[in-house]
Amino acid sequence: MGKYRYVYGPVPSRRMGLSLGVSPIPKKFCNYSCIYCQLGRTDHLSNVRQEFFPLEEILVEVRDYLSRGDGFDVVTLVGEGEPTLYLKLGELITGIKALTDKPVAVITNGALLFEPEVRAALMPADLVLPSLDAFDEKSFRQINRPSRELDFESVYRGLQVFSLEFLGEIWVETMIVKGINDDEASLRKLKSLLEGIRYDRLFVNVPARPPAEKWVESPDEERLRQAIEILGGISMELLVSGGFSSKEDDDRQAVLSIIRRHPMNAFEIESFLESRGCTDPKSVLEELEGNPEVETVSRGGPKTYRLR
């Protein structure tokens, strides 16, 4: 097969390791037009789910790629638009899982989780990464600029319900934008909403790539630290710069000192150890698995380590 149309990568993911991307949506086809979107303004603002591309065509490409090897950690449905707008999303996830044992992740804005059929479509996935940037209708309109059929209350309730129904891992991502949701009052409202959701991880992000609107800026370091402290998440900026740090000289103790406060997945541990000059991170992972103080958790997504 020549050039792929729907499959790309693998590309390094700050959260998941090497990610094989699958894009079932045309470019800039979304129900949001976020002010921070790295793809620019949405060309087709729509809330209508469609089979944009034939399901079998996408699966043929995935099958062809897998026949050439499996040098990746996770298959990620994301791409150039909102993946939950793909009408046969559930069949696509199931079809991919029939072709590989690697976990399947879906990166979504979460806007359609109030629809039972969308929640059902996501159930076969191992990992879902929804967004929650706003804390009320006004901030929702300011940051995400959704399709007019959407309202913040419905979107948030959908995320709540999904978090209770989904059996895999949920990693929430919150984008912090200077002057809109980076002040203490806004952050505490966000925190209150997050407390109403069941999730496994929270990533705090800032606009790092050229945004859709030139006036969009990242908060300063003090505001970012405040956001991390209030929300209780981990900064995506930290993941880019190496992520975690420890003053412990021993590599094993260094990892233990971190997972005492914050769980880490295998990819994060390996990246952290390599940044310290560790020549054999695999052996450290093996020791962690045999350590009775360490609990290993895996619900289909990347294996996570934390202290019991």
Report which of residues 40 and 225 the model is more confident about: 225
Residues 231, 289 within the same domain:
no
Q: Which pLDDT value is given to residue 302? A: 58
* Residue finishing a domain among 240, 274, 294: 240
Residues 139, 205 within the same domain:
yes
Residue type, 94: T
Least confident of 113-117, 129-133, 250-254: 250-254
In a domain, 15, yes or no: yes
Residues 230, 289 within the same domain:
no
In the beta sheet, which residues pair with residue 21?
A: 8, 76
Most confident of 6-15, 17-26, 144-153, 243-252: 144-153
Q: Quickly tell me which residue has 């000059």 as its tokens.
A: 277
Residues 38, 152 within the same domain:
yes
Residues 140, 103 within the same domain:
yes
Confidence of residue 62 (pLDDT cuts 50, 70, 90): very high
* Phi, psi at 265, each rounded to 5°: -90, 175
Q: Which pLDDT value is given to residue 149? A: 93
Residues 179, 262 within the same domain:
no
Residues 114, 157 within the same domain:
yes
280, burial (CB in 10 Å: exposed 0-12, middle 13-18, buried 19+):
exposed
pLDDT tens-place string over residues 150-202: 999 999 999 999 999 999 999 999 999 999 999 999 999 999 999 999 998 89
What is the sign of the dihedral through the CA atoms of 107, 110, 223 and 266? negative
In a domain, 150, yes or no: yes
Q: Which pLDDT value is given to residue 244? A: 63
In a domain, 245, yes or no: no
Residues 19, 137 within the same domain:
yes
Residues 234, 275 within the same domain:
no
In a domain, 276, yes or no: yes
Question: Average pLDDT, whole number, for the chain?
Answer: 87
Residues 165, 298 within the same domain:
no
In a domain, 88, yes or no: yes
Q: Which pLDDT value is given to residue 39? A: 74
Residues 170, 278 within the same domain:
no
Q: What CATH number is given to the structural domain containing 298?
A: 1.10.10.10
CB atoms within 10 A of CB 301: 24
The answer to whether 121 and 93 are in contact (CB under 8 A) is yes
Residues 282, 139 within the same domain:
no
In the chain, how many domains are there? 2
37-46, long-range: CB < 8 A, 24+ apart: 37/211, 37/212, 38/209, 38/210, 38/211, 38/212, 39/80, 39/212, 40/212, 41/212, 41/213, 44/81, 45/147, 46/85, 46/147
CB atoms within 10 A of CB 164: 8
* Residue finishing a domain among 220, 240, 260: 240
- Per-residue pLDDT, averaged over 17-34, amounts to 87
Q: What CATH number is given to the structural domain containing 126?
A: 3.20.20.70
The residue range of the domain holding 14 is 7-240
